[in-house]
Structure 1
């Protein structure tokens, strides 16, 4: 069978990992495909300073992506630069040139994936995007094909390895958030600007993609209620431990009769759940189907080699589709069409809650808080307080019975105005269904 030629745009961590795998695993890949994948063109702004893996001899080495997508010998283009500016030009340029595209770009696919897919479909080429979520876990293939026969009801995920690493370090070592973040940056787990990771935006893009695959809807990432982990401190893990829980940045999507609840936010998880054991920079996805019940997927969410494996696997899948044209290709979003959708108002959702307070100690505090909760028809489950000598900054916790989020948020807003509050109360859902 005829070899398939590749154009690789972007030689950062993912691009470099992809090239390494294509070079070092070339013979094994050829055995699986029945033909070889040849790296014909590579592109990077700093390509002249890059050392390509031994065994690769591209015909074209360039700083101009246009030369790659227009090269007559390139069959598939891999966009591995990230972002939504030049990356979109690369992807759409390749599609316009009649070339299939593999991308690891979660932000671009979450924002523009459906329109790009439609353009690819019109051109008769393939869009593949397995590496865009949970680099080391083939979760796209799982939802698109592996459990496609099921009716997914609930999906939970730990989708950002940086945040999970930070939370793990706070829990295990009692370190402050800023100290752990600085260490994560030193180790390369966190970017110099960590906003996308610690404020939940990276995980939000990934959840939008997984919701498309699991539920057949098109969500705008900005519509997803999102909270980051900046306010989580060691004291929260002390209280979580008393509740036999841990704290994770949890991506949640749950189907109900009239729509979909989705959110990205830190939440308490029972330590009895399998998701609670996901530590460090690892990712995990748990799904519950109407017929197939529970399935769980775990692995590294990022890194040159795990993500590179996902990219190369996509390149192999697309290359197969060129030998010959298959009668039926699996759509990249699992469904043949996506219905426009917005998440249900998160305030309608009922959950148990963890409220952590920092107060200046004085008589009547529990009375005042209980009164506000009663005004909003919210019942207290428990009051927890660890010994603390600092009466000017005293932490304690109230857990709540199952309550509508709108009522809890309204109560917390009123509580935050009480004169003894050192800072606004921290409200975290307690997830019991994972």
Structure 2
């Protein structure tokens, strides 16, 4: 299946160590550098500094440096402190996965029944979630394994490193560096009480058909700050469809007003779309211990996914063969139960369902993944070299256990990451494997 986005990461698996740094520009003395695999915590932090300060090398022959860009300087007058103020976030994964996306978008059934998932957790965990905002509920759901439209990230580079090296010891780990500084729009860090975050949160309470309808009607205006209700009157659709749009919009406004405990809110169209960085409140020990932050996603290009899926159904060779088989059977009046017409009709339905499920969800996944990709930090390790792009750090599998031991010395281990009693006991047993525990028998 072809991708509609050319998202290719630059894997950084080594750190650069010059013999001299911060040399004056008129200093013509030869400088040399060493290249070292990221095999320790200091190497990892050094590599992050390389990326964030946009260090690069001019002149690579025989490892001789003709110029080494000073650390903590960035192009176009942007200072390192400015970058930090706008937010640098990390996401660690223990292996290479095709997509960076929230759990909700891993399965079409989750997308179709998102509102049911939220309703069920609100009913079954009413006491724990009482007086919580919807975003707080999503945070708790996320930390306990329920699929949501938010993606875990962290403001602590070492926490991300832990997630990258603490499992899958036969696979390389990856750390993604995320920031809003290189996007077309200035994506500011939000709080759970921000209107834009509330809007994206309550979208999950809409039915699948309502989300699809809003996506189809308003995606072309996704950059507009016009009020949603005001725009409805200008959309050229028949009265029946306008009523459906109005019902979906009314429900959205009702949910937002309920969250905010106000009436007569104004919701810009662009608040339904795109992605936001969110710093959550410390509602759960995991949030604090993991220095948690999140990306929350709005409407997921459901209109485009539908169009592309319909196009693929029309062009599918297997489906065309089944349609031709069905037509011949009808012409021959082969209507018997178990006959060709009966079988091919059933096969056509199954094939359409298969195409829909595979194509539809893959389009959503590609779109969501692209939103994460465009937030990843750009890096070019050598000046003028084509080897540049959105950077991610790669930790080779052979260094994982060593780095995990180093993190433990820093107090970053399973007990710290997962502070609940079950995980604490499990971690204590793992860290003290030399102790023989009585199994009670």
Ranked by relative contact order (alpha carbons within 8 Å, sequence separation 6 or more), the top structure is 2
Q: TM-score under structure 1 normalisation?
A: 0.25
Structure (1/2) with the larger strand percentage? 1
Q: TM-score, normalised by structure 2?
A: 0.25
Greater radius of gyration (CA): 2
